[in-house]
Structure 1
């Protein structure tokens, strides 16, 4: 069994990236970003997910996470992705204003048919690409900076803390949209 891209240490801190199938720009709409945020908040409060840094871009997400309690990180991530996919797809299907509705549903259905684990639609790519981090290493700081600088590099903002859907504001100025678990 491969150990690449696995949550090997249950007590570890991980940098995790995951994307929408086909890199579809779903999160250009606030309603879909907010559904994802609700799912992360729920997992933080009810499942023991510890979020040390986060970022939602138009078609992918970066997190630095760990866990408290007994739930496995892979189970928390699976549940979060499953629930957020269900809610976002429901919102897309029921929307009377989503101009990309038919196109997105077609692509999600096509991805779902190519995956035997799905019955209808596939929203998220199946990989999480967790990379274990040592809090006291340069790699932790590199991943944190990469995560926060992503919207700056994409030309969306000039300063990382100006991007609303990120924990950069927590690290630079104060409280953002999602409470983070600061590492000491």
Structure 2
């Protein structure tokens, strides 16, 4: 099995991307973005996840993360994805206003049936695509710029710091929605 896209260095800094199955635009609704953010905050406080940069797009997430010594980044990511899937699916199922409810649940159930790792629904694609970053290289800055400019490239905002669901504001203007761990 290839080690190209794994969390090989326990003390490393990683760029990760993960998407909703079928690239379903779940995060076009604020409630689902907020549920994801709550989980990120929890993982930062309780599971010792370091969040260096982040963005939530309509159907995927990009992060630059690491973890404190003695913790395992792949375990934190597994728990983050499992819990956010549970919370978001619960919210969709219980929603009385979600116009896409039946369609989304059908697709999540179909993906779950096709994947032996799931019993009912599959929310996230299996991969995280982690890429190790060297903080002192251009690659770190390139990934940081990529994350922050994703909403600009998608035509959502004109300036990266204007997109609320991103850490761009933390790097350009001050405090954003959640506390991040800025590398010096």
Q: Same fold (TM over 0.5)?
A: yes
Deviates more, 1:66-75 or 1:105-114: 66-75
Partners of 2:70 and 2:47 in 1: CA distance: 9
Partners of 1:74 and 1:119 in 2: CA distance: 21
Runs of 5+ consecutive residues of structure 2 not aligned to the other structure: none
Q: How large is the RMSD of aligned CA atoms in angstroms?
A: 0.5
Structure 1 residues 23-172: aligned runs within 5 Å: 23-172=23-172
Q: Deviations over 1:104-134 (max 9, x none)?
A: 0000000001100100000000100000000
Q: Deviations over 1:64-110 (max 9, x none)?
A: 00000422100000000000000000000000000000000000000
How far did 1:63 drift?
A: 0.2
Partners of 1:22 and 1:48 in 2: CA distance: 30
SS at match of 2:84: helix
Find runs of 4+ consecutive structure 1 residues off by over 3 angstroms.
none
How far did 1:136 drift?
A: 0.4
Q: Deviations over 1:45-77 (max 9, x none)?
A: 000100000000000000000000422100000
Partners of 1:96 and 1:117 in 2: CA distance: 29
Q: Would you say 1:15 and 2:15 are equivalent positions?
A: yes
The alignment of Structure 1 onto Structure 2 pairs a total of residues equal to 184
Partners of 1:116 and 1:86 in 2: CA distance: 17
Check conservation: 2:51, 2:181, Cα contact below 8 A. yes
Deviates more, 1:66-75 or 1:79-88: 66-75
Partners of 2:7 and 2:111 in 1: CA distance: 25
